[in-house]
Amino acid sequence: MTRIVVADTGPLIALARVEQLDLLRRQYRDVCVPEAVYSELAMDSSRPGATELKGAFEAGWITVQVAADVNAVAELTRLLDPGEAEAIVLAEEQHARFLLIDDAMGRRVARRRGISVVGVASVLLAAKAHGELATVGPILEDLCGIGYRLSPRLIGAVLERAGE
């Protein structure tokens, strides 16, 4: 297993929109995305978070890598969008530390393929455990405020685990 973290689109946009993208750099250093995720990020747009994402790529701590197994990607795109499919294949190929993905179907598929998966909530909990955040509650509220889907059950479990 490498230290590389492979990321899907949703968590990157969410963290950028609530100004917490840098948590990934501080905790994991090496983050990469497949080409489809890079395209989905639409960093040349005026979307919220686009400037933060563009800065991370320009600084070089998020990079783009190619998912080489086009057959595996094609197979997965029957169930998933191209970004999720490529992210799963890239995580396999890179023997990634984990795949950062919140999509339920994508998580199930990745787990069936033996890939460790985490979501935004896990990133926040890890950041609190490492002293990067004092609390996770306000960030969870911010995520919900931008429309990021987090179930009340998940929020409750995260707050309990964080001791908040």
- pLDDT digits 0-9 by tens, 39-78: 999 878 888 888 999 999 999 999 999 999 999 999 999 9
Residue 108 placed within a domain: yes
Q: How far apart are CA 120 and CA 15, in angstroms?
A: 8
162 domain residue, yes or no? no
CA distance 85 to 81: 6
CA distances for 143 relative to 13, 100, 155, angstroms: 10, 16, 11
- Domain assignment of residue 64, given as a range: 5-120
Residue 36 lies in a domain: yes
Q: Examine residue 158 and state whether it is found in any structural domain, yes or no.
A: no
In a domain, 142, yes or no: no
Asked if 89 contacts 69 with a C-beta cutoff of 8 angstroms, the reply is yes
Asked if residue 35 belongs to a domain, the reply is: yes
pLDDT at 125: 96
CATH number at residue 31: 3.40.50.1010
Residues in a beta bridge with 100: 7, 118
The band of 1, judged by pLDDT with boundaries at 50, 70 and 90, is: very low
Does residue 110 lie in a domain region?
yes
Question: What is the pLDDT confidence band of residue 2, given thresholds at 50, 70 and 90?
Answer: low
Is 159 inside any structural domain?
Answer: no
By DSSP bridging, strand 117-118 and strand 98-100 are parallel
The yes-or-no verdict on residue 5 having pLDDT over 80 is yes
Q: 142 falls in which pLDDT band (50, 70, 90)?
A: very high
| Residue type at 33 in one-letter notation | V
**How many domains does the chain fold into?**
1
